[in-house]
A = this chain, B = another copy of it.
Amino acid sequence: MATVTGKLTVVGLGPGNAGQLTPEALAAVDAADAVFGYGPYLDRIPARTGQSRTPSDNRQELQRAAQALESAAAGANVAVVSGGDPGVFAMAAAVCEAIDKGPAAWRDLDVTVLPGVSAMLAVAARVGAPLGHDFCAISLSDNLKPWPVIEKRLEAAAGAGFVIAFYNPVSRARPWQLDRAFETLRKHLPASTPVIFGRAVGRVDERMAIVTLNGATAAQADMATCIIVGSSETRVIPRANKSSLVYTPRSMPDVTA
């Protein structure tokens, strides 16, 4: 009887600089016989002799997952790499989905997910602590879910006082969604609510901006941007000689008492 001997590790590479890559992630990539991932993520990690690399486009998650699982089922030690954390709008869910829908043998595979520093955490850290209290993360991609669901979640989150992090805020195929999202949020939040645009955080082309909800536009974002929209509790600390700090206090006064 054939036994499955391969293994697959889904690896979070963090925001993109070596200082934010965990030792276990680096070790897993180094140990792999075969590495699968979106091309620019593969480019971040040093190549090793004897290791195969299979880059793919960033919208082929499910095919990439199936390909990687096939390779593992054939006996290889496989790594699938993701930017940030692989469990946040990334490859870990795609690998699970492929296993769920795939051949029974894939369920016998040794599958490990190694977490990483997700983009919202790195963006938040750059400006202080905007995620310091209850928050949520929403993907604005309506390739993957109907827009009315996104709209409903924006309203629920803003109405209940969550700070909101947007992933996948904009792309060439999705030009209007982010402005529509800001418009929806303006109905629920003060115009002065802080909004943080964090692009390519931790990389050489990093660009950070702190604006107000009133002044936030989709033109300030691209595919590499993670956006954090404060709650009505979020505060900005202006500093004369440094960039401002933004934070959401850990505590809320009990106004009902």
Contacts and interface: CB of A to CB of B under 8 A. Distances in A.
A12 B21 CA distance: 13
Interface string A199-226: 0000000000000000000000000000
Given A121-B115, A250-B144, A237 B132 contact: no
Given A24-B19, A145-B251, A145-B252, A114 B121 contact: no
Given A108-B241, A117-B115, A87 B252 contact: no
A116 to B, nearest CB: 7
A89 B250 contact: yes
Interface size class of A (residues with CB under 8 A): 35 or more
Nearest to A122: B115
Given A100-B237, A146-B257, A129 B87 contact: yes
A66 to B, nearest CB: 14
Q: Which of A126, A160, A239, A248 has the most CB of B within 10 A?
A: A160
Per assembly, the copies of the chain total 2
A181 interface: no
Nearest to A134: B138
A240 B139 CA distance: 33
Given A146-B256, A160-B153, A247 B97 contact: yes
Contact of A134 (B86, B136, B254, B256): B136
A245 B156 contact: no
B161 A92 contact: no
A79 B134 CA distance: 25
Interface in A106-126: 107-108, 110-111, 113-118, 121-122, 124-126
Nearest to A119: B115
Nearest to A97: B249
Contact of A121 (B20, B87, B252): B87
